[in-house]
Chain A
Amino acid sequence: MRSGVADTPERDEWKQAVGSTLTHHGPCCDRARAWLIAMGRSYDFSSTDGLALAGPRWITQRWAWGPIRWPVAWCEAVKAETIDCGVFGAFALELFRAKGIEAYPGQLLRGCAEERISHWRRKWDAIPTAFNWIGTRVVYHEVSVVRTEADQARIYDPTEGFWLEPGTQSGHHGHLAIRAEIPVPLKWGDHELVNGQWTATALVG
C-alpha cells in the first residue's frame, strides 16, 4: 500500500504546483472578468432558492472540459469553447469570491482508470503548451477550497459541478491527496488541510 502522492514520483512538478492563474492583458481582461461576475450573479438564484453556498454550476454546463494552451488570459478563457480544470478553478474562485464566499485554490490527486489514460494523453499531446496533468494511474486536478466555518472547509469541483465527499470510495475518480492554499489550517471531514501541504485522503493498493 502506498500513498497517492508517493505513487507518482514522475510528477514532481505536481507537488509544487499552485492553483492556476489567468494572465491579465488590460481593459479586455477587465471586461472579461466583469462579464464572468455578472453572469455569475444572473445564474446565482440566491433569493429564489435561499441558498448561500450554491456553487457556480453554470460554468460546468457552459464550457466543455479539455486541453487549452497555457498561459491563458481572461479575455481568451471566457471566449474559449474548451477549458481545462485550471481555468475552471480560476473561474470558480472568482465567482465564489464575488459573492462574498471565502474560497481558495486547491489541488487534488485522484485515481484514474488506466484504460482512460491513453485517451487523455493523446488529447493533451495535441496541444503542446497544455498542462501535463496525466500520470500512470493518478491524475492532477484543480478544485476550490471553500471555507464554511472558522476551521471547516468544503471542496467544490467546478469542472464536474459537484461537492466532493471527504470519505469517498477509492479507485477510479476517487481522491488520493489534496493540497490547499489556505491562510489557516482547515478540516475537511476527518482530513486536516494545511497551507501548501499535500494531505493523503485515501490509500491505493
Chain B
Amino acid sequence: MTGAAGTPHAGGDKAMKETVFISGLYSGPSPSAGLGVARSVRAAFPSAQLVGVDYWAGSSGLHHEVFDATWLKPPWDLIEEDLYAKEVQAELDQGALWIPTLDLEVAWLARTLATHPLLLAPDEKALAPSRKPRPSVAELLPFEIAPSLDLSASDEEIYAFCRAHSWRVWIKGPYHEAVAVGDWRQLEQVRAWMREGWQTDRLSVQVHVRGYEESVCLAAYDGRLCDALYMRKRITTPEGKTWAGHVGELPADLLGPIEAAVRAIGWTGGAEIEVLRDVDGRRWWLEWNPRFPAWVHGATLAGRNLPAALVRRALGLPDGPRAFSAQAEFTRVVLEVPVRSGIPLPLPVEPEHGQLGVHGKYGASLSAIVPMLVPDEAPTAAAPTLSPESEADLLATAAVVATPHRLFLPRTAEAAFGRLPTVAPVEGILLRYAYSLKTSPDAEYLMLARKAGMLAECISLLEVRRALEAGWRADEIVLNGPGKWWPPTERAVDGLRVVFCDSVEELERLAGSRRTDGLWGVRLRIPGSRSRFGVSVDEPADFERLCAAVAALPPGRDLGIHVHMASTMIGVGHWRDVAESSVAWAGAIEAASGRRVRALDLGGGYHPDDFARLPFRDIVRFARNTLSGLTAVYVEPGRALTQATMAMVTSVLDVRQQEGKLQEVVVDACIAELPLASVYPHRFFHLVDERPVPVSRGPVRVLGRICMEDDVLSQGLDLPDTLKIGDRLVICDAGAYERSMSYAFGRGGYS
C-alpha cells in the first residue's frame, strides 16, 4: 500500500518490514482498537507485515484490507490457554511485535508471559496500579477522583452511599462496563446481571460526574512516554462510545504528571485515561484503559500517530513527526468491506423468541478470562449492625414468639423518638415536627409522637379522627394529600392547624368554604421532579392561575407551601435542591399574589440515617432570607422514626442444597408481610442460641412462603450450610410502610 501526498501514508518508513500482531478486531458499535491501531501502523510502515488476531469470526476488522494475514483463535471459553501462551511467546521470540487491544487479554498476557521487549503491553507490575476500582496511579495525576465503593460493603453502607449521591451512580464491572442505576431494585438487578456476566463479585459503585467526556491517549515504552495527546468527544454513540472528536496537545498541567506517572509504574504500551471535565473546569478521573482507544486512528489522521510512535521506540527507530495537521477533528463513517476468503461469517443461530440472531455482540467470550485473573475466593462482605437497643429488644422476645411475627421493638422506638433533633428557632422561625400517621398509626407510635411534642400529619378524615382520639387538638393537626376529605361520612373537623390543597380546584373550594383553619396552603409539583401530586407550575399559565386563586383567598388569609419528595428515593443532595426550589416558588407566589407565605412544609420520606444529617437549619435560614413573613417550617418524619422499630421474626420451612452447598431457603414470612422487601435493603440476623448473629451478603436466596414469583426476601445471604428447618431469622427494618402497607395473603381467609 502506498499513500498519496497529504494522507497519513506519506513519508512512511518503508524499510520497516517486521511482523506486527494486532489483536482485538471487533468493529461493531462498541469497537475494539485493533483496526485503528493497524491502520495507524500501516500508515507509518507501509511494508510491515500486519497480522490481525481475534477470537470470533464475526469480528469485522478481520476482513479489512489493512491486514496481510489473520489469526482466528478460538473464543476464550474454548481456548487452550497454555498452548496459546506458547504460540504468542514463539512469535515474540522470532522477532514479531505484539500489540493487544483487549483489556482482558492485556491482563492475561501480563499474568501469563514474562516481560518481552516486543510485547507492547504493560507487565503485571505496571498493570496493578491502574486496576479498577481505585487505581493507585490516579493519585499521581492531577484529577479529581469520583467517590466509589466496593460492593463488598454492607448493603446499609451501599444504600447510604447511593442516597448521599442522589442515586446518580454507576455499577462498574471489574475491567470495564458501567451501568447507571437509579434505585435499590435496579442496583440489585444490575449487580446480579453483572455478577453472572463477569463471573465475579468484584464489582463497585461509582458516583456519576456531570461533565464532558474527554481522554488522554498515550504511548509509552519501558516507563518513558513516547507521545500523548488530548481528545474531546464531539459526538458519542448511544452506548457512549466516541463517534467523532477533536484532538489536541495535552494541556500543559497534565504533561509533567503523566510523564511522571508512566515512569513510576514502568508502563509499556498504549493507554487511555478517560476523564470527565465538569463545567466548573475540574477534571475527574474515570478510568485508565490499558491499551490504545478505538478512536486512535482519528488522532493519526490529525497528524499524531501514537501506535507508530510506540513501534518506533520498541524498534529503536528515530521518533516520527509530531505536528498536528490543520484538521484537528475526526469522525467515523460506516463502510462495508468484502469478507475475507477463508473466514466466512458465523451463521445465525436458530431463531428463538425474543432477540433474533447475533446482534453485534462480541462472540469472543472474553469474560471467560476473568476467572483466570481474579482470585477464586469471593470478597468478604461486610456484616450488618444492630443498635444496643435493638439487640436488647430482640434478645427479649425473638426466640419465643410464634412465627412469622412482626416484633415491635420498644427500646428502639423510644430511642428513635428521643433522638428527634432539636432545632433552635432561626430568627424566630420554628421547625416543627409533624408525625405522619399513615406511616404507622399504631397506638405505641402515636403515644411516643405526642410525648416528643410532635404535631400530627394526616391524609384523610379517618386519620384526623385517629389523631383526635390519640389526644391531639385540631389546631395541632396538619392535613395533606389528594383525598384528604375522605370518607364523606366522616366529620370534616374544622380549625385544623394547616390544610394543604393538592389542586387549584381544591384551593378554590376551600376559599369558598367557611372553614376556620389556621392556615391554608398548596402542595407544589416542583418542575423537573416526577410526581403525581400537587399543583403543576411548569407552564406560565398554570402559575398565573395558581397565583390568581391565592390572590382570591378571603381577606387576611395567608398561605402555606408544601413540597414532598422522599429523600430515600431522590437522595440527599437532590432533596436539598427540591427544598430550595420550593422556597424559590414560594417567593414567586408571594410576590405575584400579594399574600404572605407563613409556613413551609418539607414533607417526609426520610431514611432514618439521613434524618439527623439533613440540613434543616440551613433550609430554614435560606427560607427566611426569601420569605420575610415566614413563621414556621414543618417536617413530617414517619419512616425515619419507625422503620427500624419493627423486625420480622421468621422460621425456616425448607433448605435446598446444590452440590452440598446451601442454595435456597424458604421461610414462613413473605412479601405480604414485607411488601417493600425489594425496594430497600433489610438487615438480616440468624438467631443462634437466642442471640441475633449478623448475616452478610452471600450466595443463598431467601424465598417467601407464598406462590408468587416475586416473593423473594433476599437475593443472597451468607447463611451457614448447617442451617436447618425451624431455625429462625430476624429481618430488621420491618416497620413504617412495611407494617402499614402489609396485607393478608395465602392465609386461607384467616388473618
Which A residues have a C-beta under 8 Å from some C-beta of B? 27, 30-32, 34-35, 37-39, 41-55, 58, 75, 78-79, 163, 169
A sample of 20 cross-chain residue pairs with beta-carbon separation below 8 angstroms, ordered by A number, consists of: A30-B591, A31-B592, A34-B587, A34-B588, A34-B592, A35-B543, A39-B538, A41-B584, A43-B528, A46-B577, A47-B577, A48-B166, A48-B571, A48-B573, A52-B280, A53-B280, A53-B281, A79-B540, A79-B541, A169-B328
Shortest beta-carbon distance, B292 to chain A, in Å? 25
Instruction: Find out whether the CB atom of A38 lies under 8 angstroms from the CB atom of B588.
Output: yes
**Within the complex, which residue of A34, A38, A48, A55 is in contact with B168, where a contact is CB–CB below 8 Å?**
A48
**Within the complex, which residue of A42, A48, A163 is in contact with B527, where a contact is CB–CB below 8 Å?**
A42
Given A48-B168, A49-B210, A79-B541: A31 in contact with B547 (beta carbons within 8 A): yes
**Within the complex, which residue of B210, B529, B573, B584 is in contact with A38, where a contact is CB–CB below 8 Å?**
B584
A60 to B246, CA, bound (A): 24
A37 to B592, CA, bound (A): 13
Shortest beta-carbon distance, B324 to chain A, in Å? 12
Instruction: Find out whether the CB atom of A42 lies under 8 angstroms from the CB atom of B526.
Output: yes
Residues of B within 8 A of A38 (CB): 537, 581, 584-585, 587-588
**Within the complex, which residue of A30, A39, A45 is in contact with B577, where a contact is CB–CB below 8 Å?**
A45
Query: Which residues 541-589 of B have a CB within 8 angstroms of A?
Result: 541, 543-544, 547, 571, 573-574, 576-577, 580-581, 584-585, 587-588
Residues of B within 8 A of A27 (CB): 592
Can you list the 10 inter-chain pairs with the closest CB atoms, starting with the nearest?
A34-B588, A41-B584, A47-B576, A42-B527, A38-B588, A48-B573, A42-B581, A47-B573, A48-B574, A31-B592
Residues of A within 8 A of B540 (CB): 31-32, 35, 75, 78-79
Shortest beta-carbon distance, A58 to chain B, in Å? 8
Shortest beta-carbon distance, B29 to chain A, in Å? 25
Closest to A75 in B: B540
Is B80 interfacial (CB 8 A cutoff)? no
User: Hey, what's the 0/1 contact readout for B189-219 against A, CB within 8 Å counting as 1?
Assistant: 0000000000000000000001000000000
Shortest beta-carbon distance, B334 to chain A, in Å? 23
A27 to B591, CA, bound (A): 10
Is B654 interfacial (CB 8 A cutoff)? no
Residues of A within 8 A of B328 (CB): 169
A58 to B529, CA, bound (A): 13
Is B347 interfacial (CB 8 A cutoff)? no
Residues of B within 8 A of A31 (CB): 540, 543-544, 547, 588, 592
Instruction: Find out whether the CB atom of B280 lies under 8 angstroms from the CB atom of A51.
Output: yes
Shortest beta-carbon distance, A105 to chain B, in Å? 20
**Within the complex, which residue of B210, B541, B577, B584 is in contact with A37, where a contact is CB–CB below 8 Å?**
B584
Instruction: Find out whether the CB atom of B210 lies under 8 angstroms from the CB atom of A51.
Output: yes
Residues of A within 8 A of B576 (CB): 47-48
A51 to B547, CA, bound (A): 32
Is B1 interfacial (CB 8 A cutoff)? no
Is B721 interfacial (CB 8 A cutoff)? no
Is B402 interfacial (CB 8 A cutoff)? no
Instruction: Find out whether the CB atom of A41 lies under 8 angstroms from the CB atom of B580.
Output: yes
Instruction: Find out whether the CB atom of A35 lies under 8 angstroms from the CB atom of B584.
Output: no
Instruction: Find out whether the CB atom of A42 lies under 8 angstroms from the CB atom of B573.
Output: no
Given A34-B588, A35-B537, A51-B210: A41 in contact with B581 (beta carbons within 8 A): yes
Interface of A is mostly: helix
User: Hey, what's the 0/1 contact readout for B321-345 against A, CB within 8 Å counting as 1?
Assistant: 0000000110000000000000000
A47 to B591, CA, bound (A): 25
Residues of B within 8 A of A45 (CB): 528, 573-574, 577
Most A CB contacts (10 A, CB to CB) among B538, B571, B577 go to B577
Residues of A within 8 A of B574 (CB): 45, 47-48
Most A CB contacts (10 A, CB to CB) among B278, B329, B581 go to B581
Closest to A32 in B: B540
Beyond the given A34-B587, A34-B592, A39-B527, could you list 13 further A-B residue pairs with CB under 8 A, ordered by the A residue number? A31-B540, A31-B544, A31-B592, A34-B591, A35-B588, A38-B537, A38-B585, A38-B588, A42-B529, A45-B573, A45-B574, A48-B166, A54-B210
Shortest beta-carbon distance, A144 to chain B, in Å? 13
Residues of A within 8 A of B528 (CB): 42-43, 45, 58
A46 to B210, CA, bound (A): 11
A71 to B544, CA, bound (A): 23
Is B400 interfacial (CB 8 A cutoff)? no
Shortest beta-carbon distance, A44 to chain B, in Å? 8
Most A CB contacts (10 A, CB to CB) among B210, B528, B584 go to B584
Closest to B593 in A: A31
Closest to A148 in B: B281
Is B5 interfacial (CB 8 A cutoff)? no
Closest to B248 in A: A167
Shortest beta-carbon distance, B253 to chain A, in Å? 16
Shortest beta-carbon distance, A45 to chain B, in Å? 5
Is B279 interfacial (CB 8 A cutoff)? yes
Shortest beta-carbon distance, B622 to chain A, in Å? 11
Shortest beta-carbon distance, B250 to chain A, in Å? 15
Shortest beta-carbon distance, B584 to chain A, in Å? 4
Shortest beta-carbon distance, B76 to chain A, in Å? 40
Most B CB contacts (10 A, CB to CB) among A30, A47, A78 go to A47
Residues of B within 8 A of A54 (CB): 210, 279
Instruction: Find out whether the CB atom of B577 lies under 8 angstroms from the CB atom of A48.
Output: yes
Given A42-B528, A48-B574, A78-B540: A55 in contact with B584 (beta carbons within 8 A): no
Given A38-B584, A41-B584, A43-B528: A163 in contact with B591 (beta carbons within 8 A): no
Given A37-B584, A38-B588, A41-B580: A51 in contact with B279 (beta carbons within 8 A): yes
Most A CB contacts (10 A, CB to CB) among B540, B544, B576 go to B540
Residues of A within 8 A of B168 (CB): 48-49
Residues of A within 8 A of B581 (CB): 38, 41-42
Residues of B within 8 A of A53 (CB): 279-281
Closest to B583 in A: A41
Closest to A167 in B: B248
Residues of A within 8 A of B529 (CB): 42
